[in-house]
Each structure stands twice: as structure tokens, then as C-alpha cells.
Amino acid sequence: MALTKAHLIEKVTNEVGLNKKVAMEIIERFFEILKGCLERSEDLKISGFGTFHVRQKKTRMGRNPQTGEAMEISARKVVTFKPSQRLRDALNGKS
């Protein structure tokens, strides 16, 4: 199951006790802040969760998987995520 914004809003509404409109504004604003940091190529660290990094990838040669034809893959920015030690421990059943 994918966790959507609607699911997040519902969880905040039910677990924190905020009304749906306030919960939606909080979630939307959180994602705007997150997106803004990444657009400015800033690392975003969420304590106890992990760090989002923006990496610059260089132009490289690749192949079209359908035709096998060589093609150039343009330079671009990508977002990577490194989980915190606390999150890794939780995923692996360690307390």
C-alpha cells in the first residue's frame, strides 16, 4: 500500500485530533518546505528519520532498451535518501 497525502491527512486528523482542514494545511506546508529545500539543492535532515541529498549526475552514454541504440543521457539532479541509524534499527527489528 502506498502512503498518500490523503492517508497522512487522515492519520494526523485521527491521531493528533486536528480538524481535517488544519491537518491538510500542515501536510501541504511541510511538503512545500521540503520541496523548496531540495529545489535549492540543500540537504534536508529529519532527525531520527534520515537525510535527503540532491546530487548532480553528469552526462553519460546509455542505450535505448528497445532498440539497443546508443544515446546520450543528459546531466540532471537526483534526490537520494540516507536513513538514520534509528530508522535502520527499527527496520531491522532492533530497539
Q: Which residues pair with 44 in a beta bridge?
A: 52
Q: Give the pLDDT of residue 95.
A: 67
What is the domain class of 43-95 according to CATH?
few secondary structures
Q: What is the pLDDT of residues 18-32, one digit of tens each?
A: 899 999 999 999 999
- For helices 20-39 and 5-16, give the axis angle rounded to 10 degrees: 130
Whether 1 shows a pLDDT value over 80: the answer reads no
Q: What is the pLDDT of residues 59-93, one digit of tens each?
A: 999 999 999 999 999 999 999 999 999 999 999 98
DSSP at 1 = -
Phi/psi of residue 85, each to 5°? -60, -40
| pTM of structure | 0.75
**Sole residue written with cell 539532479:** 77
Q: What is the pLDDT of residues 40-58, one digit of tens each?
A: 999 999 999 999 999 999 9
Domain boundaries, the chain: 1-40, 43-95
